[in-house]
Amino acid sequence: MATAPDPAVLYPDVAAYGSLAAALQAAAESRLDAVPVTSRDTAPLLHAAVASTLPHREPLEISAWWHERQWSIRGTEPFQSLTLIEGTTDDLAEVARAARAWHDGAALNDIRQAVPFVRLTGRFEVPVPDPVRLVESEWQSLRQVASELDVAWQEAYQALIEAAHAEPALRALYPFTSHWALRFSSTTRPHLTVVGPCLMANSDGTYRVERDFAREDLGRFATAQEAVALAVRQLPSGLGPVALGE
């Protein structure tokens, strides 16, 4: 089993500063002056975090790779701990630019425009925990992921996501996936309340509906619309608006 190299070997410049936080501030060339930048007590060469002025943003997480000289970033929201921005680069100065923009509260699209390695997940920011907006954000992320997949069954999967989103009864529910199976909840994360069946796109371009994941098969269909129609009929009656999964 291969042993990970000493971080000081991959990151001698970071080691010279004693922590990733200190190296990041140096690479920022004063752009992060007076900005809270911290490193963990454990593995300080590999991890750092940069706080944001916006209360609905968690600190930007910065992590160094173990086997290759790269840094990854992840910016999340506080209500569900879901990713808003992410990215990987070998340029620590670029990480500093992204960190400054995140800290200053720049719009997500503006961060992406200013720092090309940053990728948007499709989720948008919800400043207060509004379940309706969180549902809309999650649908937007699912649709983006489906459009960007690089797999043989991408078209079928995207057609399934789009067909489910077009159905008002399903669009009003909180969507999530497990092993690429589309499922629904009457509450947002972090505590989901699963309702209805799950929908899957098969590798041959057909679709199936199951009562629960990998359990009772309710039907197989040639089109996503047929599968979605059955899923709607299987929803329990009396579902109200989605609530926060607190």
The pLDDT score that the predictor gives to residue 80 is 95
Asked if residue 31 and residue 115 are part of one domain, the reply reads yes
On whether residue 59 sits in a domain, the answer given is yes
pLDDT of residue 217: 87
Q: How confident is the model at residue 184 (pLDDT cuts 50, 70, 90)?
A: very high
Same domain, 236 and 151: yes
Select from 79, 100, 120 the last residue of a domain: 120
Same domain assignment for residues 135 and 200? yes
Closest CA to 104 of 53, 35, 28, 30: 53
126 within a domain of the structure (yes/no): no
Whether 173 shows a pLDDT value over 80: the answer reads yes
Cβ–Cβ < 8 Å for 193, 246: no
Same domain, 235 and 153: yes
For residue 71, the enclosing domain spans 7-120
Per-residue pLDDT for 1 more than 70? no
Residue 46 CB partners (closer than 8 Å, separation 6+): 7, 20, 63, 64, 66
Query: Averaged over 22-26, what is the pLDDT?
Result: 96
Q: Provide DSSP, 147-203.
A: HH--STTHHHHHHHHHHHHHSHHHHTSEEEEETTEEEEESEEEES--EEEEEEEE-T
Domain-embedded: residue 178? yes
- Average pLDDT on 180-187 reads 96
Local structure of 227: helix, strand or coil: helix
Q: Based on the number of CB atoms within 10 Å of its own CB, is 65 exposed (0-12), middle (13-18) or buried (19 or more)?
A: middle
Q: Residue 125: inside a domain, yes or no?
A: no
Does residue 25 fall inside a structural domain? Answer: yes
Average pLDDT over residues 99-109: 97
Please tell me whether residues 177 and 92 are part of one structural domain: no
Q: Of 92, 120, 148, which one is at a domain's C-terminal end?
A: 120
pLDDT tens digits along 200-246:
999 999 999 999 766 788 999 999 999 999 999 999 999 999 999 98
Residue 227 lies in a domain: yes
pLDDT value of residue 214? 66
Instruction: Please report whether residue 2 resides in a domain.
Output: no
CA dist 18 and 6 (Å) reads 14
Residues 110 and 149 in one domain: no
Q: Which of 120, 148, 177 is the last residue of a domain?
A: 120
What average pLDDT score do residues 158-183 get?
96
Q: Are residues 114 and 136 in the same domain?
A: no
Domains held by the chain: number: 2
